[in-house]
Amino acid sequence: MGKPYSASPRNAELVEFASPELRADVRLVKWAMGMKDTRPGEINTNVEEYLEYNSLATSRLPQPNTLRHATAKVRGNDSDLMLHAILMYWFAADHLTLPLRDSKPFWRKVIEQSPATGWQAFGNYAPVVLREDEELMELALSFDPLALQFAGPSLRKSRPFILEAVRKDWRSLRCAPDVFRADTEILAKAAIQTLEALDYAFDLAAAEARPSTSASTKDVWESIQEAEEKERREKELQQEWRELLLLLSETHGRSLEASF
């Protein structure tokens, strides 16, 4: 046991050549991956130049790819190990095996444990049948609206699902199929949140979205147009006034001053 443990920090890929018994040893796998079980507060820093701390930092570099050398049984049954690995590196989910890979409760934990990357692990590595699960997809969308791009084929074709996703966060529209980005009701749900959403309108709807998505959106858009027209007209009048002063100055041989 001593030799694999002493070798793995220097070259974690040596786990590939360990015996089946060692590759099924969760402790060895964690060690080789650089999972630091020691809490910072438990490290003895009362030594010259923090030798213990430096030793831990340099000898146990994170090596997530080592996980692929663990036995399929470990990668498919040890929930704590795999959750820990995915929390450290979301792409470690690529090494999941059955039954964890098809476990809805497991993927729920993956999504919930890391708001920043859990949905990415789920979207990239969860099987299609789970990405067709409306409950899991809604959970992923609650952390990032761009998770819609990973929804299963049936959900991406579901108008009620897309409509609800956009209603909750207009940014989901960015990942919606073209047919829904041309849907005026869905565009209206997005545009009510921000007119920026109309930049993602598709096809004929893109040309007509701003003035026609809904009565409330149309009113907002028309008020913006009026303000822009007023500003444009004021600039034109200022320019006309400058040109008139220049003409008078040239005609009378002297400069005229005016404040704007």
- Distance from CA of residue 179 to its chain's centroid? 23
Can you give the length of the chain in residues? 260
Q: What residue segments make up the domains of the chain, in order of their start?
A: 1-70, 78-150
pTM listed for this prediction? 0.65
- Give pLDDT, residue 92: 94
Cα dihedral 156, 161, 165, 171 in deg (nearest 10)? 30
Q: Is 184 exposed, middle or buried (0-12, 13-18, 19+ CB in 10 A)?
A: middle
- Give pLDDT, residue 33: 66
- Give pLDDT, residue 173: 96
If you search the block for the tokens 């819609």, which residue do you land on?
Answer: 148
Give the pLDDT confidence of 153-196 residue by residue, as tens digits.
999 999 999 999 999 999 999 999 999 999 989 999 999 998 88
**Inter-residue contact 52 to 41 (CB < 8 Å):** no
How far apart (Å, rounded) are the C-alpha atoms in residues 227 and 235? 13
pLDDT in tens, the chain (260 residues): 444 444 444 445 555 656 676 667 777 667 666 665 544 445 455 555 555 545 554 555 556 678 888 899 999 999 999 999 999 899 999 999 999 999 999 999 999 999 999 999 999 999 999 999 999 999 999 999 999 999 999 999 999 999 999 999 999 999 999 999 999 899 999 999 988 898 898 865 555 554 444 555 556 666 767 778 888 888 887 777 777 767 766 666 554 444 44
